[in-house]
Amino acid sequence: MKVFSGVVFFLFINVGAFAQKNVADSLNRLLLLEKTDTGKVKLMWQIGSAMTSYNPEEALSISQKAVYLAKKINYEEGLSRSLGVLANTFTNIGNYPRSLEYNLEKLKLEEKRKNYRNLASVLMNIGIVYVMEEEYQKALPYYRQSDSVITNFAVNDLRYYIKVNLGDVYDKLNINDSAYHYYALSLNYAKSESNDDFVGASMTGLGHYYRKSSNYDSSLFSYHTAISYLKKANDDFLLCEATLGLAKLFQQFHFNDSAAFYANQSYMISRNGSFLTNQLDAAEFLKVLYQNQKKIDSAFYYYASAQALNDSVNSKARIREIQIMSTNEQIRQLQMEEEKKIAARERSQQLQLLFIALFIPGFFLLTLLMSKVKTPVRVIKVLGILSLLILFEYLTLLLHPTVQQLTHHTPVLEIIVFVIIAAFLIPAHHRIEHWLIKKLVQNREKLSRVQKIKLKTTKIKLTAQKGS
């Protein structure tokens, strides 16, 4: 039941492509006027979210830029949202490894925070990526974790999605009792929310369960109810699956005319909606059905149709592979650009540190020179204190990255290390300060005495010259 694998990805992308383009254009205009970095990140991930279905390459570009800016300004909510848009966009274009990479990065971030909705959503999305890759056993633990978060922290707007996705994965694993349990729960939530699309999806799942259990009457009722709700909700994608499920039920109980009728419905709906995979499934079913009935012309028609559709699906897959390579290169270029910016910032910081390293001895020499010329003692004391303060602050600045690395950015350990360093530096600072000020003042006083002696000698000489 592939539709359930994609439900969550459209939680925030539930308007048409034209409307999404209008939203993105409006947000882009706001972005040009935005002054704050936090506001820019928020607008960027919103633009990426709006673009993800109709312009995935641009969605990836702006979302990646939002990630870099959010990291730079330490804006965790913006970083989480931007990573989510990146992951969802990669899922939409079929690049599941990349989607998993960004979802896992978002999960690490959300595990440290207390935004339970974000945590439940990313856990569910990781499960969905594994379902897309048909790794159902890997998907199940993430769905269960998401279900636990949703239940324990009352994330009510996601409760339908997790139940229907759990029903879907158990259905795919052929664990029928569990599939029924979660489909039934999802149906209760769907009815409580009066959502026709939700009711149709859950009833389709129950139709599958009853069909696998050979319960003809319940399966028939579930499929017919699902079809009624899905038509009302205009959900043609899931309608293809419900009608084909009903066709399989009729075939199972040897009502071949009814099976052909509903399979043809599924085929036509999927053809009109350009749902190639669903159309291929219907064509394959009809081909086998007509072969078994010895209806050669019809069987050949659907055989040829299945062949053409299979070629189209494979061609689409090849195009998707090219798009995946293109987007991977796009992300690589953005990463290289960001690495260049980071390298430029690091060079700037290194140059500033070098300037400070040269400035400190220069400032100290200036202080020494001023102590040897006619300068007030108070000024010399202030300059001496400033030179030492700059020196010790510079030492702290140099030590900070090393301490962070040694303590693995653990704040408590960083404080302890800096307290120990301060225990040595502060007394040393005071002793050196007193010693330096004393020396500078002595130099100044010595210079003052020399000047007084010279002045006195000059006066004596002048007096002697006048007496002679």
DSSP 259-279: HHHHHHHHHHHHHHTT-HHHH
Same domain, 121 and 135: yes
Q: pLDDT class for 4, splitting at 50, 70, 90?
A: very low
453-466 pLDDT per residue, tens: 666 666 666 666 66
More confident call, 372 vs 141: 141
C-alpha–C-alpha distance, residues 1 and 421, integer Å: 62
Same domain, 278 and 390: no
Same domain, 69 and 155: yes
Q: Among 252, 247, 264, 255, which Cα is nearest to 301's? A: 264
Per-residue pLDDT, averaged over 374-388, amounts to 65
Report yes or no on 186 lying in a domain.
no
Q: pLDDT class for 7, splitting at 50, 70, 90?
A: very low
- With a CB cutoff of 8 Å and minimum separation 6, the contacts of 117 are 155, 157, 158
Same domain, 101 and 223: no
Same domain, 367 and 379: no
| Residue 22 backbone class (left: φ over 0; alpha: ψ -120 to 50; beta: rest) | alpha
- Supply the mean pLDDT for the chain: 81
**Is-contact 354 346, C-beta < 8 A?**
no
Report yes or no on 154 lying in a domain.
yes
For the ranges 102-116, 141-155, 384-398, the lowest mean pLDDT is seen at 384-398
95-109 pLDDT per residue, tens: 898 999 999 999 999
Same domain, 364 and 381: no
Q: What is the pLDDT of residue 445?
A: 61
C-alpha–C-alpha distance, residues 117 and 443, integer Å: 69
Q: What is the pLDDT of residue 266?
A: 94
Per-residue pLDDT, averaged over 7-31, amounts to 64
Q: What is the pLDDT of residue 40?
A: 93
Give alpha helix (H) positions in 372-410. Answer: 377-407
DSSP secondary structure code for residue 375 in this structure: -
Q: Which token pair is 203?
A: 């009833």
Same domain, 261 and 114: no
Q: What is the pLDDT of residue 5?
A: 36
Q: What is the pLDDT of residue 380?
A: 60
What residue has token string 């896992």?
104
Q: What is the pLDDT of residue 326?
A: 64
Q: Is residue 374's pLDDT more than 70?
A: no
Domain span holding position 437? 374-467
Q: What is the pLDDT of residue 108?
A: 93
In the chain, how many domains are there?
3
209-226 pLDDT per residue, tens: 999 999 999 999 999 999
C-alpha–C-alpha distance, residues 71 and 77, integer Å: 10
Q: What is the pLDDT of residue 9?
A: 31
| For the chain, percent of residues with pLDDT exceeding 70 | 75
Q: What is the pLDDT of residue 373?
A: 61
Q: What is the pLDDT of residue 337?
A: 73
Q: pLDDT class for 304, splitting at 50, 70, 90?
A: confident
Q: What is the pLDDT of residue 307?
A: 84
Same domain, 8 and 147: yes
Same domain, 344 and 408: no
Same domain, 364 and 378: no
C-alpha–C-alpha distance, residues 94 and 72, integer Å: 29
Q: pLDDT class for 412, splitting at 50, 70, 90?
A: confident
For the ranges 32-36, 170-174, 300-304, the lowest mean pLDDT is seen at 300-304
